Amino acid sequence: MTIDCADAYKLAGFWADVLGVSVSDDDQPGDPEALVETPGGAALLFIAVPEAKSIKNRLHLDLMPDDRTRDEEVERLLALGATLVADHRRPNGRGWATMADPEGNEFCVECGAAERAALSGTRLPVTADDVTTAVRLAVDALGAFPADDWTTPAGSLDWTCWETVEHMSDDLFSYAVRMGPREPSLDGGVPYRVSSARAGGPASAIFAAREAGPCGLLRTLEASGALLAAMVRAASPDLRCHHAYGISDPEGFAAMGVVETLVHTHDVAQGLSRSWTPPADLCDRALARLFPEAPADEDRWAVLLWATGRAELPGRDRVAQWKWHSAPL
């Protein structure tokens, strides 16, 4: 998005602060243009022009903060040098605040997805970013574990820690490729050849080269996670694909990838005598999508371990056999 302005570098600095990023290293004060790039790939290019702003913008940006409320964001932006042009906020979370940057360009601030969900009593969806977060958390945690103990059983599983991570990588790969064909199958997965490296081991299409060691093993996990995240991000929400527990949608496969990653990282951590706890909000979104009947008033990680048969929950029977709700909610 290109924005005309009087001082490109100064205005780019304001918007860099708004978005929590930096002005491009190639730009300097006094330059006729300045670039601000965001982690999501969007970019704002500010170009100095001789004309002053004279009318209201016909096109403007809407900001929806992730980690602050709408009203907290308004106060933060005022402190950065923005001005409040018109206040259309409502107590129930609807509406917006119209603001202007230091050169008078209007923009709006609305409630972010989390605040909107909390105010409306709805759930937040599981996203491609959640898949990326879960896999990166797992890779970082597992990478810090000892490198010479990966043949021990993973928690209560019959698989070794190495086999369990291979299974995680294979699951993420399997979920991703189901969404690849122009006409995804509704009665079976993509027919890759699967096999087991040993009797009793997991049947997989994906195996890591043993000579690559744990670092190589974790690279396969991260690669499969990136593949699933990319497919979920690109797929139409209306897409439907086969899963053994019922036909699912891209969000469902994202949630499956998150759950497989979190609970199997727990299994490996147990096998290597380590403890590991993922973020509660990530667990909560996965639970809401795949285990909608799970208790909502208990610790979210404890509930996810209980729902997948890995732990007890006070006042409830231990889950002996479990499966998630694959179908779209």
- Out of 1.20.120.450, 3.50.50.60, 3.30.365.10, 3.90.1150.10, which CATH number does the structure's domain 128-307 have? 1.20.120.450
Split at pLDDT 50, 70, 90, the class of 325 is very high
Between CA 266 and CA 151 the distance in angstroms is 16
Is residue 148 pLDDT above 80, yes or no? no
Between CA 259 and CA 218 the distance in angstroms is 17
On whether the CB atoms of residues 251 and 292 are closer than 8 A, the answer is: no
Split at pLDDT 50, 70, 90, the class of 145 is confident
Residue span(s) of the chain under CATH 3.10.180.10 come to 2-120
Q: Which residue has the higher pLDDT, 239 or 145?
A: 239
Split at pLDDT 50, 70, 90, the class of 80 is very high
Between CA 271 and CA 265 the distance in angstroms is 10
On whether the CB atoms of residues 236 and 182 are closer than 8 A, the answer is: no
- Cβ-proximal residues to 269 (8 Å cutoff; 6+ apart), any chain: 141, 142, 145, 155, 275, 276
Predicted confidence (pLDDT) per residue in 18-68, tens digit: 999 999 999 999 999 999 998 878 899 999 999 999 888 889 999 999 889
Q: Which fold has domain 2-120?
A: 2,3-Dihydroxybiphenyl 1,2-Dioxygenase; domain 1 (3.10.180)
Q: What is the per-residue pLDDT for 106?
A: 96
Q: Given strand 43-48, what is the order of strands in its sheet?
A: 2-5, 43-48, 33-37
Q: What is the per-residue pLDDT for 67?
A: 85
Between CA 9 and CA 89 the distance in angstroms is 31
Residue 224 burial by CB count (10 A; 0-12/13-18/19+): exposed, middle or buried? buried
87-94: long-range contacts (C-beta < 8 A, 24 or more apart)? 92/119, 93/119, 93/120
On whether the CB atoms of residues 127 and 234 are closer than 8 A, the answer is: no
Tell me the mean pLDDT in the region 69-85: 97
Is residue 93 pLDDT above 90, yes or no? no
Q: What is the pTM of this model?
A: 0.80
Predicted confidence (pLDDT) per residue in 181-223, tens digit: 999 999 988 999 999 999 989 999 999 999 999 999 999 999 9
Between CA 276 and CA 74 the distance in angstroms is 37
Tell me the mean pLDDT in the region 298-320: 94
Between CA 324 and CA 262 the distance in angstroms is 14
Q: What percent of the chain lies above the pLDDT cut of 90?
A: 85
Residue span(s) of the chain under CATH 1.20.120.450 come to 128-307
Give rounded-to-5 percent helix, strand, coil for the chain: 40, 10, 50
Predicted confidence (pLDDT) per residue in 232-260, tens digit: 999 999 999 999 999 999 999 999 999 99
Q: Name the β-bridge partners of 48.
A: 5
Q: Which two tokens stand for residue 291?
A: 């285990």
Between CA 104 and CA 125 the distance in angstroms is 35
Q: Name the β-bridge partners of 97.
A: 87, 109
